[in-house]
Structure 1
Amino acid sequence: MSLKVDNIIVSALEEIEYLESHPKYSEIYNDIAHEELRELLIKLHSNISESFKTMNSRLPTRSGTAHFWAEPSRTLLRCIEISENLYYKLKETDQPIQIDEYYFDLFRECENFLSLSGGSEIPSNMQKVNIYYKMPIYLLSNTIEIKSPTVNRSLKMKHFDEGSYAIIFKYKDPFYNKHFIVKKAKKDLIPKEIDRFKLEYRTLKELNSPYVTEVFNYDYDKNQYVMEYMDWNLHKYIQKKNAELTSDDRKKIVYQIFKAFEYIHRKKLLHRDISPNNILLNEYDDALVVKISDFGLVKVEDSQLTALDTELKGRFNDPALKQVGFSNYALHHEIYALTYVIYYVMTGKVTIDRTNKEKTNQFVTAGLNTDVALRPKNIQELKRLFTRVY
């Protein structure tokens, strides 16, 4: 761990050095190598649990309220404050700490009534707290836990990426002996954004193409779903392999992109978020397979959930959308983005420049034409133009 992380941990420990740790909680964090961090989390966990255990003697409150004594009230509030500070301070470091979802919400609820002096008034209709005697309140090293249907235990997942709506985790299933991805909706999403997140899953679930990423199951309690793991996104692949890729290698990628969007458009969908980050690749011994992912902005016919108020982002989107608005996104805007991506695949460049290959210039000029009437009308036309010039 870095000195910054060490300092955050030691400072937090000093704030609660007067508190005792309860031995029955000591084994929960045995897998943490950092001695001070292990000590801190055991101390926080044990004092939070014992405080809630005391509070449970006053719960449930039903229609009335109840007094919560001064000492456990102070202890609980202090531990909650330190837990949240730890969460936010470590969030941007290489060692972020996750707080269990149930306890994260419980902390917020308790902060509304806990007091540092004179005890606290527990509000009405508060239920007994579930005490975690064997499960961790804190998950470390960019991990969350998932119950795998193939094994009778929790699997730890490592933080892999992050998008506008979701945090993305990666884990290895011991039964299948292969990696999977879990997309988990962020905590601060509003209900409409959660609905869009679910729409992305349903859209992917209904699609059946070797050129679209496969999804498996949705956990409605945690708002997360499992999907296949891919080795690369197109951006990282081109960055890494650009010097060694032949023209034929690049064309094989492009023709798979065409096949993917021929299928997507045949299903009357517009992806609306086309970029090298959302085009994924798997490397096999004898082939490179391309798949399209990230359907969070998908435009579905007659859907009330299609995001119309989305801010225009990314260099691969048609600049004309700034004038007409994202709600008016149409097929010719998708043609623009696909042309740009194909240019990136064929040249390895993200900045559009005239090249010394006139055929490349012809293709780019047609697909990015400011007069949308002069752009290829559909994927088939764009594909025929590509075949002609390459």
Structure 2
Amino acid sequence: MLADLREKYEAMPAARAFARLYDNTEWGHMFAVLHRRLNEHFTDINGRAKTTHHYWADSSRDLLALIEEIELDLHTLKRAGIEVALTDSYQDALDRCRPWLSPSGGSTVPEDFEIIEVIRYEQVFTHVAKSVKLKKQEAAVELKMVGSGSYAHVYSYVDPDYGIKFAVKRAKKNLDERELHRFKQEFEVLKKLSFPYVVEAYRYDETRNEYRMEYCDTTLREHISKKNSTMSFATRKRISLQFLYGINYLHLQGLLHRDISLQNILLKVFDSEAVLVKLSDFGLVKDQANEFTRTQTEMKGTIRDPMLRSFKDYGVVNEMYSIAHVLAYIFKGRESLPTADDTVGRIIHRCAVNDLAQRYQNVADLIADVERLEAPPKQAMP
């Protein structure tokens, strides 16, 4: 019975985007195939619900057959002692679709049909014995606006499942197609990154053009402006190194941030006053392996290298200029670049000197110099 079921699905294609979600070597391919087919139907139904409210005859028959197939095949697995659950939101979507699906002549999507949230980056089929049931919040969760940028508003909320804060970054409604593409690209980049000093992104909602992300307490600018008079050299050095480790990680991934600023560096602040740096705002990120770069509106970073003539020529040495301004603010508490009259000043000067050949050519060398820094005998507070 199980051999027949496995053979059946092995003959069906599963796109890599779905196969990578399921690490189960025995049944992962089956789950990926079904997930792909469900997403294709749900995406099409959402489109028809917004336009003609007519779902094609062939598609209606196929979805009815798919619903029956899922029920039968999951029952087959259960009989063999393998209990698999379809995520609640997808089961609910199928239950809502079944009444109006017709086996002939197409189907009429109800006028009040609620758009289905299509899940692309998480499993929708799970082993019951290997999963945990999280409670679901039926009531709407209140959002609190905590920030706003060129392309998006940022809100915070307390997740009822975890009892901790998360953030939602929602694209502004007036974005054109290109700007919305950039917003989605930012999520795609963040989703692929995994590093302690880069903010985490969790899930994209196509219907609202928003994604959930790690919540951070403040920006680097706000934190240092409040703590500048009492912050020790050791603390400044730790914050600087976390920031540089994050940038170095991006460069090792072949990425250039291109919009480093005091606002785009976030901090998680803990009760002990310890802080954790989180790089954010990847809307202008560039893959160094990609030679094509749009230049019409992108050359507008908060801290821009005056030696950069064209955004398409942006490289690591240009990123060093904005790094210099961040280090100046961390170590000196000022947004202007300091004179090169001490070790810190000389390091910052080498990041921003006009002769590009004299600048640090990579962040690893800069990190090595910052790691060797020692507190001055008498620390003069800025």
Q: CA deviation at 1:129?
A: 7.1
User: Do 1:233 and 1:281's aligned partners in 2 also have CA atoms closer than 8 Å?
Assistant: yes
Residue identity (%): 36
The yes-or-no answer on 1:170 pairing with 2:170 is no
2:235 aligns with 249
Q: Is the 8 A contact 1:166 1:186 kept in 2?
A: yes
Q: Which string of whole-angstrom CA distances, capped at 9 and with x for unpartnered residues, describes residues 312-331 of structure 1? A: 3355221122xx12222111
SS of alignment partner, residue 141 of structure 2: strand
1:365 maps to 2:328: no
Q: Does 1:320 align with 2:304?
A: no
Q: 1:273-294: per-residue Cα shift (whole Å, max 9, x none)?
A: 1011111111224432111111
Corresponding residue to 1:297 among 284, 291, 294:
284
Q: Which residue among 264, 271, 293 is the counterpart of 1:278?
A: 264
SS of the residue corresponding to residue 154 of structure 1 reads coil
Q: Structure 1 pair 303/156, CA: closer, same or farther in 2 (3 Å)?
A: farther
TM-score normalised by L of structure 2: 0.60
Which letter does structure 2 place at the counterpart of 1:294?
A: D
| Coordinate RMSD, CA, aligned | 2.7
- Distance in 2, Cα, partners of 1:375 & 1:269: 19
Query: Equivalences for 1:344-383 in 2 at 5 Å?
Result: 344-354=329-339, 357-383=341-367
Counterpart CA distance in 2 for 1:264 and 1:333 is 15
Counterpart of 1:103 in structure 2 is: none
- How far does residue 388 in structure 1 lie from its aligned partner after superposition? 4.5
Correspondence for 1:240? 226
Structure 1 runs (4+) deviating above 6 angstroms are none
- Within the alignment, does 1:334 sit opposite 2:304 as a pair? no
- For the residues of structure 1 that align with 2:323 and 2:364, how far apart are their CA atoms? 12
Corresponding position: 1:224 with 2:210: yes
Change (3 A) 1:327 1:310: farther
Which whole-Å CA distance do the structure 1 matches of 2:302 and 2:208 have between them?
33
- Superposition deviation, residue 128 in structure 1: 9.7
Alpha carbons of structure 1 residues 193 and 242: separation in structure 2 relative to 1, 3 Å: same
Alignment partners' CA distance in 2, 1:201 and 1:311: 18
Change (3 A) 1:371 1:186: same
5+ residue gaps, structure 2, are 1-51, 55-108, 115-133, 375-382
Aligned with 1:183 (options 169, 173, 195)? 169
Shift of 1:153: 2.2
Q: Unpaired runs of 5+ in structure 1?
A: 1-59, 63-126, 133-147
Q: What is the deviation of 1:149?
A: 8.0
**2:316 partner amino acid:** L
Deviation sequence 1:359-389 (CA, Å, 0-9, x none): 2331122111101000011001112233445
Q: How many residues in Structure 1 have an aligned counterpart in Structure 2? A: 249
